[in-house]
Structure 1
Amino acid sequence: MPQKYTSSVCTGVLAIAFSLLLVDLSEAASPGLNYVRPRGGQRGTEVSLTFIGARLSDAVEILSYKKGFEFKEIKGNPKNANVCTAIVKIAPDCALGEHTFQVRTKSGVSDYKTFWVGQFPEVAEKEPNSKFETPQAIELNHTVTGVIQNEDVDYFVVNAKKGQRISAEIEGVRLATTLLDPYVAILDEKRFELKAEDDLPLLRNDTAVSVVAPADGKYTILVRDSSYRGNGAAFYRLHVGTYPRPTAVYPAGGQLGTKQKVTFKGNTVNNLVQEFQLPNKPDDDFRLFASDAGGSAPSGNVFRLFPHGNSFEKEPNNEFKQASVATLPNAFNGIIEKAGDIDYFKFQGKKNQTLEIECYSRRIRSPLDPVMALYNAKFQRLAANDDSRGPDSYFRYKFPADGEYYLSITDHLARGGEDFIYRVEMLPVTASLDLGIPRNARYSQERQRIVVARGNRFAAVISVARKNFGGEIVLDPSNIPKGIKMIAEPMAANLTTMPVVFEAAADAPVEGELIALKGRHADPKQKIEGVFKNRADLVRVRNNQLLWLKDVAQIPVAVVEELPFKLDIVEPKVPLTRSGSMQLKVVVTRKEGFDKPITLQFPFRPPGVGASSRVTIPKGKNEAFYPLNANGNAQIKKWKVFVIGSADVGGAAWVSSQLASLEVADSFVDLKLARSAVEQGKETEILCTVSMKNPFEGDAKIKLVGLPPKVTTTDISFNKESKEVVFKVKTDPASPQGRHKSLFCQVEIPMNGETVVHTTGRTELRIDKPAPPKKNEPPKPKPVAKKAQPKKEAPPKRLTRLEKLRLEAQKRLESGSK
């Protein structure tokens, strides 16, 4: 269960700012969190913490995603609103490694950031220690907390006996305060380098070294950035001790709920065998910690929890005839132990069985870059893959017949070693579901939490990732805290996002908690469900390379004090039609004295519906119109939508409208426009054939849009009985010559006191220069008044487009022009 603790006392610390930390400070009313100092602590002790970020002066609670922490004396600083402090008591049995905290204030919830728990007493780095000759003396089995400045090198010296292990593991980039790519080496008294490492696959961009002391004496640990960079935020935690620091565990997975013997390998750990009781439930963050008489490793080895048992390779198995026999549904486990090694497994496949075949190596922090291939009994290759899962391999395969099959694994560059561990899991295709919130800003946690003001609303677009299934999705409201109501309709089977509004009662408790937000298939018989997951990009470098991230599977939901404004959508009485547009009216209810502008957004857009990115309700005004449009293929349905808005309330505060109805309908009429041509300064007609799709009452209007300059016409009224209408088009001698292809019609249909607007029909108007007069043609006589002719009973026949073109060609021939 997540933990939360409240207090009301305050102190303060100076904040540090730096450029490489990934933090979002765009939300002003909600707090921002850059990082926590110190970056870690020893379990079983009390530590004074400083939370550094923005708008933290009213902090009331620290949210922790795991057990093992008790917070007290949570305080803001009246002189610095960007920091708060707390005392944390770390339980003696608190899990080692990375933990996640968030700060809840009276106005919101911060980003989540990490904190590390270690096992050793801690000692601070002390300068001067930048030379081999003047190292800082420390004891074994201690953690050094330090910082690497630009071109800085830190030296530490320990005493060790012959045969004693000396291990040093560093947390640098994993602390996620800036880019620190650590380099660590162990030197003897003659400055001879016994072991050095930069990036260790087990620890990604961090590293660890381990040696066995060849003689009694002093040994020096060197710490620096691999490129001699650094800054005031390049913090590190260096664990120096006698503990085992294996680089691999074999096998790298086991069956849920069983006892599993494993062998730790690498980095002076020579086949250390231990047995562990595995949990009954899956856990993506599960780790095994190696331990012996020298202590326990500071961080664990990745270990997969699997529904089935294990099959193991047996050397030699470097060719088909020597293939190790394996049994499904067990996982296949092996080690590419030397350069050029290829491991083959032989197993029985069943006809028409479809399996997802996953090779885990980099994902279990092995240096192996696997290439995996499947063969039939005749050794013919059926499928293969290199990098479908990043560097790892994956493919899905349907077995065509019962029989014997082979699987091979090797390294892409033909490398090998004792820690080149791999694990292949083959499982039937199963359905799974993940929930999330699409990012509202790049690399940011903006609005990735639910913060609702009393008597108000907040909304989010919830995304769904369906795997191997389809159908509607519904959200489970059972975990929503007291005083908050979640409003959401089922997500349509063809969508991956849905609008969700959270509404807080006027008397809802002002508090917050971390919850598991769950979703499931709308049909309970399917038994498909999933939870909300979020990912924070904690350290990015050039070219957007992500060096460290943190995934969580809970979302903070909090109620804050009342805000001075509330938003509502005035639900339209007419539909938004295909190829149509609409001005959606949004009104604000302001408290007396609050007149700040409010910025609106329209986050959820039904398929085929577009909207402006932002609209502002001006200062002192109480309404705005949000432009919407629908393309010709917009999905016809009555949708639920919302508008979310922010205003400066001592910083940006967010509220949403209700979940309002918006109907998307088919267009009411189709118009077919005939092409036309005219000489400059003359008139022409454009015939418009009317095809009624959705009859309406009363008269409507058609506008001809897109006419070139100095070309005019008048709007035309029509009704449901109309079959065709004609636009009388007038040109000017200065009207631009050429083919004008952007003409179309805009239809305006009054309905329920509002207007349906959509476009339809396209055509071309060609404007020509007048034909020159014929050669030697006498001037035309002045017109003589003629006697009035009786009106003809029938109007002249309207020429077709083809007839007009023929007539124009005839005139050009007569005038001698081409």
Structure 2
Amino acid sequence: MIFQKHAQCLFNCVTAMALLSSSLWAQAVCLPAPRLLTTFPMGGEVGSTVEVSITGDNIEDVDLLSFSHPGITAIPKVNDKGIPVPNTFVVSIKKDCPVGIHEARVMTRLGVSSSRVFNVGSLSEISQVKPNTTLDKAMPLAVDSICNASMTQKAIDFYSFEAQQGQRIVVDCAAKGIDSKLNPVLIVADAKGNDLLVERRGGALDFEVPADGKYIIKVHDLTFNGGSAYFYRLALKAISKDEAIVRLPSTKTVSSFSWPPEGLAENAAASETEPNNDHAQPQKITLPCDISGSFFPAADVDTFEFAAKKGDVWWVEVASERLGLPTDPSIVVQKVTGEGKDETLTDVVELTDISSPIKVSSNGYSYDGPPYNPGSADILGKVEIKEDGNYRLQLTDLFGGTRNDPRNIYRLIIRKAQPDFALVGWALHMNLRNGDRNALSKPIALRGGATIPLEIVAVRRDGFNGDINLTMSGLPEGVTATGLKIPAGKSKGIMLVTAKANAPRGLSSATLTGTADINGTPVTRPCFMASMAWPVPNAWSEIPNPRLLVDVPVSVSNSEQAPITISAKEQKVLEVAEGEKLTIPLVQTLRSDFSGTKMSLKTYGEGFERTPAFDVPLNEETSQAVLDLGKLKTPPGDYTIAFYGSAVAKYRYNPEAVTIAEATLQRLQEESTAIAAELKTLTESAKTATEADQATVKESVQAVTEKQKANAAALKVAQQQLKSATAKAKPKDIVDIVVSTPITIRVNPAEKK
């Protein structure tokens, strides 16, 4: 009986959750944005020209394929009749274009798309020829070349190469580092397919050729997934015996934005010297220092000893994870007293991770924080010396006992305080409590009248704790940017990017920076942008994969406008006396129908976040906000604020496409009627034509019949296009972030009584 009650209770809960989930999932999150999903091939040799095909979401009317470096240009490919081939471009890579990672994007009806990595290399390149999923169909690959390919699902891709005894061959596969979903497994086999060397962890194969002859490379996904999203670049290189392996270029993790410190030399001044693995053999160093080393062999513990004086404060920074390595550095600093058997070690401090300056999502999407982690497994902390003496610093990889790779390097810096900061930002995600499992790439693609909020986060270095003012320049016509600064002692600010309602279509590469006063000197640092490598509509079924972007493109579209624009009625500085209430008349410009009649708004801006949420109507054009400066205890000064919330719009996707499809269908129907009449006339003429004219009439009938067939085929396509456009244009509930245009407030000192 008890079991039955529990079972019935569980069934009721599951049923309720299912009903709730189905209703929530029916409501889409975020207005459609253009997203570039694949380019093929994924790169090219410097100085070459390559034909590139693309796929993506919401990328109708693509008229430009652009790149983050001016040394890469593209023009649409045209067919023999001079008509552009859909989603295909001819890409030219200049000889002076830097080798490495670049960003590719398309300009669409809705503006600029999210990016996809485009690689420029120095080796000759080819593209995969299918099928090559059996040994007998292995695709030949020349040494010192790269093959662009996509993984075949539930299969193995085979390649063959010729090599000589004693050659050192490196087989490398770029996948995760170029935005692919592939987890590559690499195998070198003999000519019969017998495995000789295997790599399952994403590393490169270092293969010494045992005898002259033919060898096989096998590539497959770790779980045998495949498809267009599982692309890769397979490199086959011959290197000398003592040459270090240089991996194919890779994107940077979000955490890497805080490395390196400004002004750091490219190479460390010193290196760790083995053996330094225990307290009996510490490496003597003098502070300050800059040391390079590696967590090798497995379970390596590097020990350094230095002298320090009471009152010294040293800042310690380690980079390893931020170099793109699977490491987790940890440091223990101890004071040394006595010698030999009488030696005593006293813990001073333990330094571990660079914690995230803001709370990060606990589940990969924006439920209780952003789906981006600006923290790192690396180290940034201080050591305060309480008394004169000798000290030992032990540096280790926390989980290094399972790793045995000399390429797991680190950089250790111990310095006096050099106050500074590093910045990273991303387009804000929704913070719905239920149903929102999206971790989407969100390009800065503005609709007319829209404001996109960017969340800007700072990692503060060596005790810096001041204001950081945010600026953005190089914007398209009709677009402005307003930074809500990162206040002293805080880690987060907001950049508001706004497009006028009548802004012309445009695209530019913007510059996003932060400026602070450090010891009386203005210091400006770049702000890196982060984005999702792939749009993930449900982070419970797929782990999001964020990364840093190379640049900051901003676009505005004149194809659509924001469903709603909220702004202050008066576009001027609003003045108020300290301690008083400020009433701000607001205007809602409505361009859509909405689910519900009101929207709850909160407030961005230094000190104004404590303003209680308030409602504005979604069926009226005016409202007001009231700020109680007495309760907020806002001191005199100039402030910039904005109001934000979320609304469910009855969104119609590209209704203009319906109008165009209807016009096209009508034109074809009229042509069909005319063709039928022409064919009828010719058929009647054939009955009375003379024998001499019969051949000519038959030719005419044949030509018009072919025209009728072509028209019928075009009609079928047009009917399908109209059906598709109509379905897409049906009103759909979509919830998205709504942010007002920035509002400037001046709080004047209270009048003395």
Category of TM-score, reference length = shorter chain = 0.5 to 0.7
SS at match of 2:291: strand
Deviation at 1:37, TM superposition (A): 2.8
Aligned to 2:275: 316
CA contact (8 A) 1:534 1:552 kept: yes
Residue 156 in structure 1 maps to residue 159 in structure 2: yes
Q: Which amino acid aligns with 1:587?
A: V
Closer, same or farther: CA 533–626 of 1 in aligned 2, 3 Å: farther
Closer, same or farther: CA 482–154 of 1 in aligned 2, 3 Å: closer
Residue 623 in structure 1 maps to residue 626 in structure 2: no
Aligned to 1:792: none
Aligned to 2:323: 364
CA contact (8 A) 2:334 2:348 kept: yes
Aligned to 2:510: 515
2:215 pairs with one of 199, 205, 219: 219
Aligned to 2:425: 436
> Which structure would you say has the larger RCO, counting Cα contacts within 8 Å and 6 or more residues apart?
2
Deviation at 1:318, TM superposition (A): 3.5
Closer, same or farther: CA 168–444 of 1 in aligned 2, 3 Å: same
Deviation at 1:159, TM superposition (A): 1.3
Deviation at 1:46, TM superposition (A): 1.5
1 or 2, which has the higher strand percentage? Answer: 1
Query: What aligned pairs does 1:405-484 form with structure 2 within 5 A after superposition?
Result: 405-412=391-398, 413-414=400-401, 416=404, 418-429=406-417, 430-434=419-423, 436-437=425-426, 439-441=428-430, 444=439, 449=444, 451=446, 453=448, 456=449, 458-460=451-453, 462-465=455-458, 467=460, 468-476=463-471, 479-480=474-475, 484=479
Closer, same or farther: CA 214–111 of 1 in aligned 2, 3 Å: same
Residue 306 in structure 1 maps to residue 264 in structure 2: yes
Residue 113 in structure 1 maps to residue 116 in structure 2: yes
- Aligned equivalents of 2:77, 2:624: Cα separation in 1: 43
Aligned to 1:550: 547
CA contact (8 A) 2:427 2:444 kept: no
Corresponding residue pairs, total: 576
2:386 pairs with one of 384, 397, 400: 400
Q: How big is each residue's C-alpha offset from its partner over 1:782-810, in whole Å with a ceiling of 9 and x where there is no partner? A: xxxxxxxxxxxxxxxxxxxxxxxxxxxxx
CA contact (8 A) 2:334 2:393 kept: yes
CA contact (8 A) 1:450 1:555 kept: no
SS at match of 2:587: strand
CA contact (8 A) 1:51 1:83 kept: no
SS at match of 2:114: strand
CA contact (8 A) 1:155 1:220 kept: yes
- Aligned equivalents of 1:57, 1:503: Cα separation in 2: 24
Aligned to 2:286: 327
Aligned to 1:143: 146
Query: What aligned pairs does 1:488-503 form with structure 2 within 5 A after superposition?
Result: 492-493=487-488, 502=497
- Aligned equivalents of 1:63, 1:502: Cα separation in 2: 21
Q: CA RMSD in A?
A: 4.8
2:226 pairs with one of 223, 226, 230: 230
| TM-score in terms of structure 2 length | 0.64
Aligned to 2:341: none
Query: What aligned pairs does 1:773-812 form with structure 2 within 5 A after superposition?
Result: none
1 or 2, which has the higher helix percentage? Answer: 2
SS at match of 1:320: coil
Q: What percent of counterpart residues are identical?
A: 21
- Aligned equivalents of 1:523, 1:391: Cα separation in 2: 27
- Aligned equivalents of 1:492, 1:410: Cα separation in 2: 35
1:40 pairs with one of 27, 40, 43: 43
Closer, same or farther: CA 26–616 of 1 in aligned 2, 3 Å: farther
Deviation at 1:584, TM superposition (A): 7.9
Aligned to 1:769: none
Deviation at 1:435, TM superposition (A): 5.2
Q: Which amino acid aligns with 1:358?
A: E
- Aligned equivalents of 1:461, 1:300: Cα separation in 2: 25
- Aligned equivalents of 2:514, 2:45: Cα separation in 1: 38
Q: Which amino acid aligns with 2:618?
A: I
2:125 pairs with one of 119, 122, 128: 122
Aligned to 1:388: 353
Deviation at 1:510, TM superposition (A): 4.0
Closer, same or farther: CA 495–635 of 1 in aligned 2, 3 Å: farther
- Aligned equivalents of 1:489, 1:417: Cα separation in 2: 45
CA contact (8 A) 2:39 2:52 kept: yes
Deviation at 1:537, TM superposition (A): 2.6
- Aligned equivalents of 2:88, 2:568: Cα separation in 1: 41
Closer, same or farther: CA 547–425 of 1 in aligned 2, 3 Å: farther
- Aligned equivalents of 2:426, 2:131: Cα separation in 1: 48
- Aligned equivalents of 2:422, 2:298: Cα separation in 1: 40
Query: What aligned pairs does 1:533-548 form with structure 2 within 5 A after superposition?
Result: 533-538=528-533, 548=545
Q: How big is each residue's C-alpha offset from its partner over 1:500-534, in whole Å with a ceiling of 9 and x where there is no partner? A: 55566798664321122122126893423333322
- Aligned equivalents of 1:459, 1:135: Cα separation in 2: 49
Mark the runs of 5 or more structure 2 residues left unpaired by the alignment. 1-27, 253-258, 338-343, 355-375, 431-436, 655-733, 749-753
Closer, same or farther: CA 171–463 of 1 in aligned 2, 3 Å: closer
Deviation at 1:170, TM superposition (A): 1.0
Closer, same or farther: CA 342–169 of 1 in aligned 2, 3 Å: same
- Aligned equivalents of 1:141, 1:493: Cα separation in 2: 53
- Aligned equivalents of 1:30, 1:85: Cα separation in 2: 21
- Aligned equivalents of 2:650, 2:251: Cα separation in 1: 47
Closer, same or farther: CA 490–317 of 1 in aligned 2, 3 Å: closer
SS at match of 1:357: strand
Aligned to 2:714: none
Deviation at 1:209, TM superposition (A): 0.7
- Aligned equivalents of 1:581, 1:656: Cα separation in 2: 22
Q: Which amino acid aligns with 1:388?
A: D
Q: Which amino acid aligns with 2:529?
A: N
- Aligned equivalents of 1:459, 1:490: Cα separation in 2: 16
Closer, same or farther: CA 525–663 of 1 in aligned 2, 3 Å: closer
Closer, same or farther: CA 339–569 of 1 in aligned 2, 3 Å: closer
SS at match of 1:163: coil
Aligned to 2:185: 183
Deviation at 1:215, TM superposition (A): 0.7
Mark the runs of 5 or more structure 1 residues left unpaired by the alignment. 1-24, 200-205, 245-268, 274-288, 291-296, 666-818
Residue 272 in structure 1 maps to residue 243 in structure 2: yes
